[in-house]
Amino acid sequence: MTSLLHVATTGSDDADGSAQRPLRTINRAAALARPGDTVVVHAGEYREWVTPRRGGLSDRRRITYQAAEGEHVVIKGSERITGWQPDGGTVWKATVPNTLFGDFNPFAEEIAGDWIVYAEKAPRKHLGDVYLNGLSFYEVGSRADVSAPEKRTEMIDDWTGVTDRVRDPQQTLLVWYAQVGAEATTIWANFQGADPNAELVEINVRRSVFYPLVPHLDYITVRGFELAQAATPWSPPTADQPGLIGPNWAKGWIIEDNVIHDAKCSAISIGKEASTGHNHATERGDKPGYQYQLESVFAARQIGWDREHIGSHVIRRNTIHDCGQNGIVGHLGGVFSTIEDNHIHHIAVKREFYGYEIGGIKLHAAIDVEIRHNRIHDCSLGTWLDWQTQGTRVSRNIYHDNNRDLFIEVSHGPYLVEHNILASPAAIELWSQGGAFVNNLICGTLWVEPVMDRATPYHRPHSTQVAGYAFIVGGDDRWIGNVFVGGDPAVAYRSMPEGSAAAYAGTAGYDAYPASFQEYLRRIDEQPPGDHQRFLTVKQAVYARGNVYAAAARPFAGERDPVVLDGGSASVVTEGDRVYLVTDLPEGLADAGLRPVGGRDLERVRLADAEFEERDGSPAVIATDLTGARKDPQRTYPAGPLVALTPGGSRIRIW
């Protein structure tokens, strides 16, 4: 027997949860909810960390938490602070009793862990934050810095040198500093003329907003909320990875139609838990994080990391913005999941802290994960797929105004990138092998890089079972029906020494690679006798055909019949919530027309010995353009992600 449990700000936790006698807190409803039940939360603001007590039993017997239809429900990890006292100029001071925080005080917790990077003598940052009318401040290193904050109009990405726009380039930064004592925490903040006792001022208090305390609470749906302001910790792949919201090592969650913002580090986590390793490289210092990450894969297998128990989540139609590290993060726990129709923006662009685990979407071991039809922009890095990108599909996404769009690192494939627009200066960084790139529009650079100092795992097809592991020699990639429009390495990587980033406009970075599997085998045969040594220096084959190169983009020397055109331009333009692709492409674009490509048209992946397939093992179907238009398998279409893409000037709405 299923039931509805109602929650309202006018309710009482002593009530029965009926529409007439609603409960007061979502947590009280969570304690009562059983498989099949729905918790309906009515309009208002709820300051609590929702920790579900139970999960559902199947996809049809879920526990659902949803905002009442047409009502705005906000769940926050913060508390409002009043009683601020003037402390000189535009600086105010508040003293908060530590009892407000319980056993977790974000202002005492450093942003720390594996792969975090601090400059020498730089002050450590903390999980606390201060918000003025919803706008987050910047932490500074001393009380004196609060009185004289730095005025910055731009911030530099440590990797590319590309500048980020600050939220208000004419405004001196809103900053805070805190001291944590035995009984109280004192916070100084520069409100730049605002009165914090008259405005809404909040501080981080809770680590998460909707996150179970224990693993394996399966089949939960969270729908229609605004979820905000959580003190989430740094979440590398070698640590517990709590987010503002997430399943905490479970199966079958649906997170949909929410607005999620202001996570100190990560917003949605579909990542690992602590028992398979928690920042051992930092805490112990005896082995590199790479080695501990390898061990975590095998440790996860020992505790039931498989399709029957973990993953298969759906994250859709959410707006995720203004988070310090990731919009969506995960290692191991996100396998077989779908991430679709989300709008992700302004992730890791405050530059308060830096590390190697940052992106709008940052996933390790994204086995059979589908990332489709998302708009990702104004992020430090749009999507970063790191390790075990196998069976992964990146389809029909729009990337623009990021420092870097797509980075695929130390993976062996097969993975498929199709019908996307990648419009940022650094479009694709490919430190992997075994990929297929079909019908994309690529307006920035392509950087191809071997990685011979880190061997990473690959798996049996559509499984978490490890089949082996290997270095990244590079190549074994397929490029079919893409349109390259320019790309300037000097713009994409302006801070790096000349020649250190092997980025090109087009696929010319593959010029030294063989153009067929037969040629690859010939090069192996030409090596001196031996076993693995013969393979270490021989690049794998690259299979390229039907691509268009405009605006000085150049093809791979071994490509069959590339179409090279003079001039041309393409850019993404936004007008409010609408997004347009504006192009001026030369005649000859249609010369590379081809029929839709499927999994059987793509050469098998050499190392993983696997084909390009759907999750059910059938051949991959690649016949839907970015806007959702279906392609007739018997017709010929122009290269690129849109069936409507034509020579000359055009303006096509894409979002």
pLDDT tens per residue across span 210-246: 999 999 999 999 999 999 999 999 999 999 999 999 9
Residue 365: the pLDDT is 98
Instruction: Give the CATH number for residue 63.
Output: 3.30.1910
Whether the per-residue pLDDT at 289 is higher than 80: the answer is yes
Residue 101 falls inside a structural domain: yes
When pLDDT is cut at 50, 70 and 90, the band that residue 346 belongs to is very high
Residue 493: the pLDDT is 87
pLDDT tens per residue across span 560-578: 999 999 999 999 999 999 9
Q: Find the Cα–Cα–Cα–Cα dihedral 137, 138, 139, 143, rounded to 10°.
A: -80
Cα 296 to Cα 238: distance, rounded to the nearest angstrom = 7
Cα 280 to Cα 303: distance, rounded to the nearest angstrom = 19
Cα 216 to Cα 275: distance, rounded to the nearest angstrom = 13
- Among 31, 55, 72, residue at a domain's last position: 72
User: In terms of domains, do 94 and 196 share one?
Assistant: yes
User: In terms of domains, do 157 and 54 share one?
Assistant: no
User: In terms of domains, do 62 and 113 share one?
Assistant: no
User: In terms of domains, do 124 and 168 share one?
Assistant: yes
The average pLDDT across 384-396 equals: 98
When pLDDT is cut at 50, 70 and 90, the band that residue 1 belongs to is low
Question: Given its phi and psi angles, is residue 283 left (phi above 0), alpha (psi -120 to 50 degrees) or beta?
Answer: alpha
Beta carbons of 431 and 410 less than 8 angstroms apart? yes
pLDDT tens per residue across span 316-328: 999 999 999 999 9
Residue 235 falls inside a structural domain: no
If we measure between CA atoms, which residue out of 75, 70, 20, 71 comes closest to residue 52? 75
User: In terms of domains, do 39 and 144 share one?
Assistant: no
Give Cα separations from 214 to 14, 41, 186, 242, 254 (angstroms): 26, 23, 33, 11, 18
Residue 112 falls inside a structural domain: yes
Task: Name residue, tokens 């949803």.
Answer: 66
Whether the per-residue pLDDT at 156 is higher than 80: the answer is no
Residue 367 falls inside a structural domain: no
End-to-end CA, the chain: 42
Higher-pLDDT residue of 477, 594: 477
Residue 129 falls inside a structural domain: yes
When pLDDT is cut at 50, 70 and 90, the band that residue 164 belongs to is very low
- Among 178, 204, 230, residue at a domain's last position: 204
User: In terms of domains, do 101 and 59 share one?
Assistant: no
Residue 249 falls inside a structural domain: no
Identify the H or E element spanning 32.
helix 26-32
Domain count of the chain?
Answer: 2
Instruction: Give the CATH number for residue 123.
Output: 2.60.40.1180
Beta carbons of 514 and 477 less than 8 angstroms apart? no
Task: Name residue, tokens 């199709």.
Answer: 418
Q: Which of 80-94, 386-400, 487-501, 578-592 has the lowest mean pLDDT?
A: 487-501
User: In terms of domains, do 93 and 151 share one?
Assistant: yes
- Among 171, 204, 237, residue at a domain's last position: 204
Question: Which DSSP symbol is given to 109?
Answer: -
Residue 120: the pLDDT is 86
Give 3-state DSSP helix, strand, coil % of the chain, rounded to 5: 10, 35, 55
Whether the per-residue pLDDT at 417 is higher than 90: the answer is yes
When pLDDT is cut at 50, 70 and 90, the band that residue 121 belongs to is confident
pLDDT tens per residue across span 586-644: 998 988 889 999 999 999 999 999 999 999 999 999 999 999 999 999 999 999 999 99
Identify the H or E element spanning 544.
strand 542-545
Domain that holds residue 31: 4-72
Tell me, letter by letter, the H, E, C secondary structure of 552-580: CCECCCCCECCEECCCCEEEEEEECCEEE
Return the bridge partners of 410, or none: none
User: In terms of domains, do 108 and 12 share one?
Assistant: no
pTM of the shown model: 0.96
pLDDT tens per residue across span 499-551: 566 899 999 999 999 999 999 999 999 999 999 999 999 999 999 999 999 99
Residue 137 falls inside a structural domain: yes
Whether the per-residue pLDDT at 165 is higher than 60: the answer is no
For residue 214, give the amino acid letter: V
Residue 622: the pLDDT is 98
Under 8 Å CB-to-CB from 644, ≥6 apart: which residues? 627, 629, 650, 652
DSSP string covering 483-509, please? EEE---HHHHTTTSPTTSS-EESBSGG
Backbone angles phi, psi at 459, to 5 degrees: -130, 165
Cα 552 to Cα 436: distance, rounded to the nearest angstrom = 23
Cα 424 to Cα 442: distance, rounded to the nearest angstrom = 9
Count of residues making up the chain: 655
Beta carbons of 251 and 283 less than 8 angstroms apart? no
User: In terms of domains, do 21 and 130 share one?
Assistant: no
- In this prediction, what percent of the chain has a pLDDT beyond 90? 91
User: In terms of domains, do 103 and 66 share one?
Assistant: no
Give Cα separations from 625 to 190, 597, 608, 641 (angstroms): 49, 12, 28, 6
User: In terms of domains, do 66 and 93 share one?
Assistant: no
Backbone angles phi, psi at 636, to 5 degrees: -100, 140
For CA atoms 468, 469, 472, 477, the dihedral sign is positive
If we measure between CA atoms, which residue out of 409, 397, 431, 404 comes closest to residue 365? 409
If we measure between CA atoms, which residue out of 241, 253, 243 comes closest to residue 210? 243
User: In terms of domains, do 8 and 113 share one?
Assistant: no
If we measure between CA atoms, which residue out of 492, 361, 354 comes closest to residue 428? 492
Residue 419 falls inside a structural domain: no
